[in-house]
Structure 1
Amino acid sequence: MTDKDLHARAIALHDSFTHDHHDRRAFLADLTRLAGSAAAANALAAAIAANPAAAAIIPADDTRLKTGTTSWNTANTRKMAGYWASPAKPAGPLPAVIVIHENRGLNDHIRDVARRVALEGFHAIAPDFLSPAGGTPADEAQAREMIGTLDLAAAVQDGAATVRMIKADKKSNGKAGVIGFCWGGAMTNRIAVAAGSALGAAVPYYGPCPDPAEAAKVKAPMLLQFAATDDRVNKTAEPWIAALKAAKVPVQAYFYEGTHHAFNNDTSAERYNKAAADLAWGRTIAFLKKNLA
């Protein structure tokens, strides 16, 4: 087995652990058999997992930006909290972009992504979808467990309400887009369904796609970003893309050759693919600027 094959199989095991069974003992046993020793397995697991201590691309105190935390009401007296970032000296109201976190909740990496969005000339907000459960904990395993127990229908409505909220924000030009990653990619698709014409653009990254029957409810242009080796997600992709096209939704979809699930996450040494991430990011920003101007 080549190193490339070993790493691909290890990532598949990790994805099964984090997205399906959540049994860490079984995951480490399988990874040890694959890697050949417990020490090798632990090193490989650490390289695959996101590193919460990884340096930010855009520092939190970057003087080109203003940032902060905020909260807002959604449906049924629920409240959401989140992080926002905007250019420090905007020429006027800005297109608004919601940045949705992975299955580890709102963490420093997603705050960093929100700052990257803001530097491109947007008012960005990163909601914490674990707000109704008390907010994202520091423990990533606990955050994943909490994500798994969320009322998904209520979370989708929270997302749609956030679209309406940010469109009305005084920093916004009245147009809103959504981007999301992994769990957030799936949520981005669902919000596109739920928000209808209130949403101006949606960019889900490697998120499992909804029932194709929901495609007719989507009114926003869609840019779908997939990892070519991500079989778990990609089996849902083609039916969704076909349904969007049949519903006359403007849609673009890209499958990045040789990439793994979460290839945009630069805090994971094994998953991150800089070339693909940069290409996907350039397409994302151009798409948002075109549709939210």
Structure 2
Amino acid sequence: MMSQINKADIKQEVFDLYDDYAHNRLNRRSFMEKLSLYAVGGLTVPALMSFLMPDYKGNMQTSPDDPRLQSGYVNYSSPKGGGTIKGLLSKPLDAKKKLGGIVVVHENRGLNPYIEDVGRRAALAGFISLAPDALTPLGGYPGNDDEGRALQSKRNKGEMEEDFIAAYNYLKNHKDCNGKVGVVGFCFGGGIANMMAVRLPELAAAVPFYGSQPALSDVPEIKAPLMMHNASLDTRIMEGLPPYEAALKANGKKYQSFVYENVNHGFHNDTTPRYDKAAAELAWKRTIDFFTEALK
């Protein structure tokens, strides 16, 4: 259905509605009712819904059985969080030395195929990556994002934070890691990346994609260099960016901040129509270059 609708014909208000729905500010019924206002001409509500939902079948950039990678699921201990957490661990098959580590943090819906794909992309770029699934204590990512969001809303936020702190420790101490570990996160994961920068003084680098900012009073605790990627149309997250940058600057923190014009929250996710190829590719290149320097 996605290919039958021209993205340019969709009003920005539709993407804003989807953002509210995806972040649990609208329930499904209200979302569909509001969406019906934009179902005009040849567009129907089911067609718009289909257009907005992620398409994992045709949009993966890597394969789970990519011959260049060693990639598979592991379980690690998170005693202060969910107990035992499942994650996708990926590394280059031909690695001749210990590698920098990257924790890849999912959105607010668990370890879906897009985030697994990002974990493999990080490995193909020369790192060992771990993409945890914070839904593990509830049975893991259920196979679709709507149910994943509902499950994740049932988990305690503090315990989930501990799960990603534990992922950092697991990766830092992995036999194939050089001990330098960074984090990249998207949406909810962007907020986790900022949280890890506050809580982990030895974190080597943090890259939040359109993530909520930490409390400004926590900024002095940050030791890791930051690279922030945000979308100009993402008014919710952009509102907190200027004071965050001001606090980082006032405290002498090392950071880079990139705002991509005329793109939406979620622009890196290539399985949804919010994806912007140019912005996503540039942001990812910047991210990999940043990690290459910070994790060597």
TM class, shorter-chain normalised? over 0.9
Matched, 1:219 2:223: yes
**5+ residue gaps, structure 2:** 1-5
CA RMSD, Structure 1 to Structure 2 (Å):
1.8
Residue in 2 that maps onto 1:70: 74
Instruction: Please say which of residues 242-251 and 273-282 is displaced more in the overlay.
Output: 242-251
After superposition, residues 1-293 of structure 1 pair within 5 angstroms as: 4=8, 6-36=10-40, 39-76=43-80, 78-195=83-200, 197-268=201-272, 270-293=273-296
1:32, CA displacement in angstroms? 0.9
Matched residue SS, 2:44 = helix
Instruction: Rate the CA distance shift 1:114–1:272 in 2: closer, same or farther, 3 A.
Output: same
Q: Distance in 1 between matches of 2:9 and 2:227?
A: 30
Matched residue SS, 2:131 = strand
Counterpart code for 1:49: M
Q: Distance in 2 between matches of 1:258 and 1:113?
A: 23
Instruction: Rate the CA distance shift 1:27–1:89 in 2: closer, same or farther, 3 A.
Output: same
The answer to whether the 8 A contact 1:129-1:155 is kept is yes
Offset from partner CA, 1:185-216 (integer Å, 9 cap, x none): 11111121122x22100001011212111111
Matched residue SS, 1:185 = helix
Q: Distance in 2 between matches of 1:212 and 1:38?
A: 48
Instruction: Please say which of residues 203-212 and 171-180 is displaced more in the overlay.
Output: 203-212
Structure number with the higher helix fraction is 1
Q: Distance in 2 between matches of 1:15 and 1:101?
A: 16
1:52, CA displacement in angstroms? 2.8
Instruction: Rate the CA distance shift 1:116–1:3 in 2: closer, same or farther, 3 A.
Output: closer
Q: Distance in 2 between matches of 1:214 and 1:42?
A: 44
Offset from partner CA, 1:156-198 (integer Å, 9 cap, x none): 1221121121111001000000001111111111121122x22
Q: Distance in 1 between matches of 2:131 and 2:17?
A: 29
Instruction: Please say which of residues 276-285 and 75-84 is displaced more in the overlay.
Output: 75-84
TM-score w.r.t. the length of structure 2 is 0.93
The answer to whether the 8 A contact 1:156-1:194 is kept is no
